[in-house]
Amino acid sequence: MNIALLTAAGSGTRMGQDIPKQFMNIDDCPVIIYTLLPFQKHPEVDAIAVICLEGWENMLKAYANQFGITKLKHIFPGGATNQDSIHNGLVGLKEVGYSNDDIVIIQDGVRPLVSFEIISQNIETCLQYGYAITGLPCKEVIMKHQEYNNTLEYLPIKREQLIRTQTPHTYKLGKLLSIHQMAEKQGLNMAASCELTAKLGYNDQHLVIGSEKNGLKLTNLEDIELFKALKHVSKDSWLK
């Protein structure tokens, strides 16, 4: 089976609003629903689980009922960090009966512009190689910031070799759960599953090319403006 696991346990303090950003309404629809809909509609996704901020579980259920998210089968509690939250979700999936070979597609709950194509390629790549990480090659020149004197240091790496990772991150359930268990034993805490997996020596994570739209993660007010603009734009007919 293919299970989408969405992380929606953050409090959204950087957004500076009265409610968590994943539950904010934009054009009469909550952010979390925008993120859920592509997985709901994708024919290869069998079930959806959400790692939810404590106290917002009933709101999530109400929104799912309102917007027809029938694949939402499981809600798991968040943790102190993103890594802890994902671990809770993985353990929860095992406890409700999913197998080690089931595919877990991890998506940020506030990354609402994931496409069907990206989801499909994640599933296909994970089936073939065991891992799939969405990302884009850098367009910009990347330099290292020296905080002590606010200067920039050159990095001798071609920008085309640097990847800006996005989500989904896609793994076999058993493999990623074992990685999280190893990390817990070693006291590791990383920002994302792909970083954690690499830190533990797995250097064969395969790239799925993402998109600039999917790169939009709603973190601050400017991101909301960009999201609204992208929602209402369409491709010009003359473009190939």
User: What residues does each domain of the chain span?
Assistant: 2-231
CB atoms within 10 A of CB 135: 20
Looking at domain 2-231, its CATH superfamily turns out to be: Spore Coat Polysaccharide Biosynthesis Protein SpsA; Chain A (3.90.550.10)
Two tokens, residue 190:
């990383």
pLDDT tens digit sequence for 66-120 = 999 999 999 999 999 999 999 999 999 999 999 999 999 999 999 999 999 999 9
What CA–CA distance (Å, rounded) separates 131 from 121? Answer: 11
Residues in the chain: 240
CA pseudo-torsion sign 52, 56, 62, 63: negative
pLDDT tens digit sequence for 188-222 = 999 999 999 999 999 899 999 999 999 999 999 99
What one-character DSSP code corresponds to residue 170? Answer: E
Q: Over 90: is that where the pLDDT of 18 sits?
A: no
Q: Over 80: is that where the pLDDT of 14 sits?
A: no
What CA–CA distance (Å, rounded) separates 3 from 98? Answer: 9
Q: Over 80: is that where the pLDDT of 25 sits?
A: yes
What CA–CA distance (Å, rounded) separates 33 from 109? Answer: 9
What CA–CA distance (Å, rounded) separates 4 from 43? Answer: 12
pLDDT-based confidence at residue 17 (cuts at 50, 70, 90): confident
- Indicate the helix (H) or strand (E) that contains 225: helix 221-231
CB atoms within 10 A of CB 25: 11
Q: What are the CA-CA distances from residue 126 to residues 103, 198, 236 (Å)? A: 8, 16, 34
Radius of gyration of the chain (CA): 18
Contacts of 125 by beta carbon, 8 Å cutoff, 6+ apart: 131, 132, 170, 206, 208
